[in-house]
């Protein structure tokens, strides 16, 4: 079960971003087709009525085209993984003899629903998409008209913006900022709630087999160093020792300074930590 959970946590946002790369290329192709419809004079884009109308319609056209690509399906598939994690967590605690009450199950589902709604809004809502993508595209079109760029100049500027922003396309970066680590933080938050609700004395810090592991995580997984000394057995720690874990881990690179005792299970050992927590009643 741990391996199944690790696979979801490791692969979900990577699969989403891979799918977004195709969407990004489709949008760039679509935008270039609009560039080809612009009026020019002596090779320069003009301030014609046709061009102004195209610019005024641009953001709606881009958003409509977005929804014709594989983007909606990719986002939906990503969001389904929240449901999968919910089921896996329930099974993992049932294996320890813990059955959630109906009211507590509803509380956990509410947590998931609120997070999923926020992510859905950020990824699929037109104002959010405009603010993070289409507004800049429109601004480039407007500059091209004001300054008399050539169609090639405009296409080159938008290719750089959309597909080659520090080797990662702009749409990928926008989606990545929202989706990256969202599943991990949701899972950590939910497990923290479960640990508190059932007053679990221990937690397991599970290695998810990622290649790049920072010092804090390595010590907790391998039972080495200052953090390893706090382990009661390999990968297992006392909940009451979380303040001690934070005191040690917070002095090291990659730590998120907003981490507290109350949200440690959600944030774990720093930015984009891919390890996960399981509460334990006994060891």
pLDDT in tens, 32-71: 999 999 999 999 999 999 999 999 999 999 999 999 999 9
Exposed, middle or buried by CB within 10 Å (0-12, 13-18, 19+), for 244? middle
Tokens coding 278: 């399981």
pLDDT of residue 95: 95
% of the chain at pLDDT higher than 90: 84
Residues 34 and 115 in one domain: yes
Residues 162 and 208 in one domain: no
Residues 167 and 216 in one domain: no
Residues 231 and 152 in one domain: no
Alpha helix ranges (H) inside 36-150: 49-66, 71-94, 102-124, 126-129, 135-147
Look at the block and give the residue holding tokens 């005191």. 247
Query: Is 247 domain-assigned?
Result: yes
Tokens coding 169: 């396309």
Query: Is 187 domain-assigned?
Result: no
What is the number of domains present in the chain? 2
Q: What is the pTM of this model?
A: 0.87
Torsion angle (degrees, nearest 10) of CA 72, 162, 17, 57? -10
pLDDT of residue 165: 57
Give the dihedral sign, CA 130/133/139/141: negative
Residues 214 and 244 in one domain: yes
Residues 31 and 164 in one domain: yes
Q: Measured between alpha carbons, how far is 222 from 220 in angstroms, rounded to an integer?
A: 6
Q: Measured between alpha carbons, how far is 184 from 266 in angstroms, rounded to an integer?
A: 8
Q: Measured between alpha carbons, how far is 138 from 225 in angstroms, rounded to an integer?
A: 53
Residues 174 and 238 in one domain: no
275 and 206 Cβ atoms separated by less than 8 Å = yes
Q: Is the pLDDT of residue 115 over 60?
A: yes
Residues 163 and 245 in one domain: no
pLDDT of residue 273: 87
CA dist list (Å): 180 to 9, 14, 43, 261: 10, 8, 43, 23
Domain that holds residue 113: 2-179
Residues 137 and 26 in one domain: yes
Query: Is 27 domain-assigned?
Result: yes
Question: Which three-class secondary structure state does DSSP give residue 200?
Answer: coil
Q: Render pLDDT for 175-230 as a digit per residue (tens, 0 to 9).
A: 988 988 899 999 999 999 999 999 999 999 997 656 567 899 999 999 999 999 99
pLDDT of residue 259: 95
The dihedrals phi and psi of 280, each to the nearest 5 degrees, come to -130, 135
Q: Is the pLDDT of residue 249 over 70?
A: yes
Tokens coding 180: 């990256």
Residues 80 and 31 in one domain: yes
Residues 24 and 93 in one domain: yes
Residues 80 and 121 in one domain: yes
Query: Is 223 domain-assigned?
Result: yes
Q: What is the mean pLDDT of the chain?
A: 93
pLDDT of residue 207: 77
Query: Is 258 domain-assigned?
Result: yes
Q: Render pLDDT for 128-154 as a digit per residue (tens, 0 to 9).
A: 999 999 999 999 999 999 999 999 999
pLDDT-based confidence at 271, cuts 50/70/90?
Answer: confident
Exposed, middle or buried by CB within 10 Å (0-12, 13-18, 19+), for 233? exposed
DSSP conformation letters of 47-58: --HHHHHHHHHH
Query: Is 192 domain-assigned?
Result: no
The dihedrals phi and psi of 249, each to the nearest 5 degrees, come to -65, -30
pLDDT-based confidence at 164, cuts 50/70/90?
Answer: confident
Q: Is the pLDDT of residue 162 over 80?
A: yes
């Amino acid at each position: 079960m741990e391996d199944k959970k690790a696979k979801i946590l490791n692969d979900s946002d990577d699969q989403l971003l891979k799918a977004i790369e195709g969407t990004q290329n489709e949008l760039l192709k679509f935008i270039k087709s609009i560039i080809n419809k612009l009026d020019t004079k002596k090779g320069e884009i003009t301030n014609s009525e046709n061009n102004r109308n195209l610019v005024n319609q641009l953001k709606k056209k881009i958003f409509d085209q977005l929804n014709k690509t594989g983007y909606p399906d990719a986002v939906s598939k990503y969001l389904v993984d929240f449901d999968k994690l919910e089921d896996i967590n329930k099974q993992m605690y049932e294996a320890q003899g813990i059955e959630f009450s109906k009211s507590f199950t509803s509380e956990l589902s509410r947590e998931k629903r609120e997070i999923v709604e926020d992510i859905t809004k950020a990824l699929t809502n037109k104002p959010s998409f405009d603010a993070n993508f289409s507004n800049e595209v429109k601004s480039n079109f407007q500059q091209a008209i004001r300054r008399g760029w050539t169609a090639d100049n405009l296409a080159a500027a938008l290719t750089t913006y959309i597909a080659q922003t520090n080797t990662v396309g702009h749409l990928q970066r926008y989606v990545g900022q929202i989706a990256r680590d969202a599943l991990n933080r949701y899972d950590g938050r939910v497990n923290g709630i479960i640990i508190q609700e059932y007053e679990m004395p221990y937690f397991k810090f599970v290695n998810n087999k990622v290649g790049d592991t920072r010092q804090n995580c390595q010590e907790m997984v391998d039972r080495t160093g200052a953090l390893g000394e706090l382990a009661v057995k390999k990968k297992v720690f006392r909940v009451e020792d979380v303040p001690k874990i934070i005191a040690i881990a917070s002095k090291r690179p990659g730590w998120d300074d907003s981490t507290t005792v109350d949200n440690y299970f959600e944030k774990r050992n720093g930015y984009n930590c891919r390890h996960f927590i399981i509460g334990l009643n006994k060891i």
